[in-house]
Amino acid sequence: MAAAVVDSAMEVVPALAEEAAPEAAGLSCLVNLPGEVLEYILCSGSLTAADIGRVSSTCRRLRELCQSSGKVWKEQFRVRWPSLMKHYSPTDYVNWLEEYKVRQKAGLEARKIVASFSKRFFSEHVPCNGFSDIENLEGPEIFFEDELVCILNMEGRKALTWKYYAKKILYYLRQQKILNNLKAFLQQPDDYESYLEGAVYIDQYCNPLSDISLKDIQAQIDSIVELVCKTLRGINCRHPSLGFKAGESSMIMEIELQSQVLDAMNYVLYDQLKFKGNRMDYYNALNLYMHQVLIRRTGIPISMSLLYLTIARQLGVPLEPVNFPSHFLLRWCQGAEGEGIDQSYQLLRDSLDLYLAMYPDQVQLLLLQARLYFHLGIWPEKSFCLVLKVLDILQHIQTLDPGQHGAVGYLVQHTLEHIERKKEEVGVEVKLRSDEKHRDVCYSIGLIMKHKRYGYNCVIYGWDPTCMMGHEWIRNMNVHSLPHGHHQPFYNVLVEDGSCRYAAQENLEYNVEPQEISHPDVGRYFSEFTGTHYIPNAELEIRYPEDLEFVYETVQNIYSAKKENIDE
């Protein structure tokens, strides 16, 4: 009987929501229902926020049920934005109707800003001052972030440009928040030392979309400490470290007792849990992130030392970090505090300059200096020439060792972007396929290609009628050995391994089985993947206005013909 009443009411409510003057009999039937039933109906999920607003205006009884701080508007908020509920305490008074309005407004503002970014920053990476609009937004930042996450989670292969810039903005917001925490951490007095906290901030900064917290990482380390204590108990059941409480800062001065702790730690970390250094893939960034080190039980000297130091200090053993030229080590203080540590990061740049003055052809040092310049944003003309020299050397190395493609691709991408920014200072360059000087260009932006020699899949995002790189690059890449040399079209391509390359036309061919290219910058240039090709966004189409028509013709000829052959 109760179910029948509810079903009947569910049919009445939408009618009440749509009619300005509901029939008296229908309204009477609804409002005479028990309050719990009415609340259940209004929270069932079948009514929108607009429906609730109209229902609450019909009579006093429904208006009281739909009060702004009540369960009905709370449920509307929860259903619309479930991930935000973790920010509210069950004991807090919340005006859910007002929260709904503020969140809705923040979402509209977020979409407006995301839509503007492609037009404003297509020709360069978004500069720091490009986020000024975001910093001046009204309302809670968590609402704005939540809308960006909603954009990133949009299904399908469309809105790629929106997703690209939503990710950029979300990175910026979260990294700024982490930077503020890191600055506050660095302002702590000298006697406040928590290397783990600093490492977690760096981990969060480099992985802003991951759920990383000091609390979770500390809990994992505490579980390792428990294992060490269990082993230590077998060595010395009266060891003072066994009585330490969580968060307690105590040091053991006896060398023999310290040695017992270190023996137990070594057994647990290296024999029981199998922590190890990553010799095979030393430069993998995962070796540096504490949450990944704990998951993979693999790291490099600095991350493994940090883990070791944290556990040792929790058990009362004083260790100090020592920054050696090519390694990061720990010093066992053996009861005495060591000297302070030099915090001068300027030393790295000065040391590189000195080394390169003595050994100007050291490729690895040139690469390290180029990366330092990139990350610090240093772009004087001299350093720009230096980077070009580094790229020339590394391009040659890549032909001998393909394993170098990651470093080369990173630097090539940033160098080409810098060159493009220089070009933008004199206006946007528009390339027309109908222009006589472009008559030899065979492929267009958005097409999925395959490299004939190296076999990688890629998508074209730009082209030149002839090779535009310098003479050293052409010589080191052995371009002259190609049948058409450098006097042929060259294409900027995004490669599936995440690199950006500059490929000769004769080395490219259509990919007969096109697939989506997993590259972080796809959304910067394209708005959608159709299954056979990418559609350029408005900014890229301005630069290549005649390419899209050619793409459609190519897709029709290549992939339709293939489908007909399969059908036959």
Residue 6 has pLDDT above 60, yes or no: no
Using 50, 70 and 90 to split pLDDT, how confident is the model at 364?
A: low
For the beta carbon of residue 504, count every other beta carbon within 10 angstroms.
21
Phi, psi (deg, nearest 5) at residue 252: -95, 130
Cα–Cα dist 172/153, whole Å: 18
Same domain, yes or no, for 270 and 245? Answer: yes
Same domain, yes or no, for 121 and 67? Answer: no
Using 50, 70 and 90 to split pLDDT, how confident is the model at 193?
A: low
Using 50, 70 and 90 to split pLDDT, how confident is the model at 14?
A: very low
Whether 418 is in a domain gets the answer no
Give 207: exposed, middle or buried? Use CB within 10 Å, 0-12, 13-18, 19+: middle
Whether 371 is in a domain gets the answer no
- Specify the pairing of strand 319-323 against strand 298-299: unpaired
Residue 429 has pLDDT above 90, yes or no: no
**Nearest CA among 421, 418, 491 for reference residue 456:** 491
DSSP 402: G
**Sheet hosting strand 500-504, strand order edge to edge:** 500-504, 490-495, 457-464, 448-451, 508-510
pLDDT score recorded for residue 564: 52
89 against 376, higher pLDDT: 89
Cα–Cα dist 92/301, whole Å: 47
**419: helix, strand or coil:** helix
Domain extent for 169 = 100-186
Same domain, yes or no, for 45 and 125? Answer: no
Domain count across the chain: 4
Same domain, yes or no, for 138 and 260? Answer: no
Q: Where are the alpha helices (DSSP H) in 377-499?
A: 381-400, 405-424, 471-476
Using 50, 70 and 90 to split pLDDT, how confident is the model at 398?
A: low
Ranges assigned E (strand) in 199-253: none
Pick the last residue of a domain from 138, 155, 186: 186
Side-chain half-sphere of 364: how many Cα atoms within 13 Å? 2
pLDDT score recorded for residue 218: 93
> For 399-425, how does the pLDDT look when each residue is reduced to its tens digit (9 = 90+)?
544 554 555 565 566 666 655 555 555
DSSP 428: P
> For 114-157, how does the pLDDT look when each residue is reduced to its tens digit (9 = 90+)?
988 888 888 767 666 667 777 777 778 889 989 999 999 988 88
Same domain, yes or no, for 253 and 314? Answer: yes
Contact 533, 446 (CB under 8 A): yes
Whether 94 is in a domain gets the answer no
Phi, psi (deg, nearest 5) at residue 501: -135, 165
> For 254-277, how does the pLDDT look when each residue is reduced to its tens digit (9 = 90+)?
889 999 999 999 999 999 999 999
Whether 76 is in a domain gets the answer yes
Whether 473 is in a domain gets the answer yes
Give 110: exposed, middle or buried? Use CB within 10 Å, 0-12, 13-18, 19+: buried
Whether 271 is in a domain gets the answer yes
Using 50, 70 and 90 to split pLDDT, how confident is the model at 185?
A: confident
Cα–Cα dist 335/332, whole Å: 8
The helix (run of H) or strand (run of E) holding residue 289 is: none
> For 91-103, how does the pLDDT look when each residue is reduced to its tens digit (9 = 90+)?
889 999 999 999 9
- Specify the pairing of strand 500-504 against strand 490-495: antiparallel
DSSP 533: B
pLDDT score recorded for residue 440: 94
Using 50, 70 and 90 to split pLDDT, how confident is the model at 451?
A: very high
18 against 561, higher pLDDT: 561
Q: pTM of this prediction? A: 0.64
Same domain, yes or no, for 236 and 287? Answer: yes
> For 477-529, how does the pLDDT look when each residue is reduced to its tens digit (9 = 90+)?
889 899 999 999 999 999 998 888 999 999 999 998 899 999 989 999 999 99
pLDDT score recorded for residue 310: 92
Residue with tokens 């928590």: 194
What's the sign of the alpha-carbon dihedral 467, 472, 474, 477?
A: negative
- Rounded to the nearest integer, the mean pLDDT of the chain is 80
pLDDT score recorded for residue 296: 95
Question: Quick one: tokens of 372?
Answer: 């330092």
Cα–Cα dist 30/441, whole Å: 71
Cα–Cα dist 103/78, whole Å: 12
pLDDT score recorded for residue 463: 95
Using 50, 70 and 90 to split pLDDT, how confident is the model at 374?
A: low
Whether 88 is in a domain gets the answer no
pLDDT score recorded for residue 414: 61
Cα–Cα dist 316/253, whole Å: 8
Same domain, yes or no, for 247 and 147? Answer: no
> For 61-88, how does the pLDDT look when each residue is reduced to its tens digit (9 = 90+)?
888 888 888 899 999 999 999 989 988 9
> For 290-314, how does the pLDDT look when each residue is reduced to its tens digit (9 = 90+)?
999 999 999 998 999 999 999 999 9
CATH number reported for the structural domain that contains residue 556 in this entry:
2.30.30.390
Section 201-226 average pLDDT: 92
Same domain, yes or no, for 449 and 545? Answer: yes
For the beta carbon of residue 521, count every other beta carbon within 10 angstroms.
16
**142: helix, strand or coil:** helix
Residue 37 has pLDDT above 90, yes or no: no
Question: Quick one: tokens of 456?
Answer: 């990688």
Same domain, yes or no, for 221 and 315? Answer: yes
Cα–Cα dist 491/493, whole Å: 6
405 against 436, higher pLDDT: 436
Pick the last residue of a domain from 162, 186, 210: 186
Section 337-356 average pLDDT: 53
Whether 456 is in a domain gets the answer yes
pLDDT score recorded for residue 134: 74
Pick the last residue of a domain from 331, 348, 365: 331
Contact 39, 30 (CB under 8 A): no
Same domain, yes or no, for 260 and 304? Answer: yes
Give 344: exposed, middle or buried? Use CB within 10 Å, 0-12, 13-18, 19+: exposed
Q: What one-letter code names the amino acid at 431? A: K
pLDDT score recorded for residue 187: 84
Residue 346 has pLDDT above 80, yes or no: no
380 against 486, higher pLDDT: 486
Contact 322, 330 (CB under 8 A): yes
Residue 397 has pLDDT above 60, yes or no: no
Same domain, yes or no, for 160 and 46? Answer: no
Same domain, yes or no, for 120 and 65? Answer: no
What's the sign of the alpha-carbon dihedral 394, 399, 405, 410?
A: positive
Using 50, 70 and 90 to split pLDDT, how confident is the model at 16?
A: very low
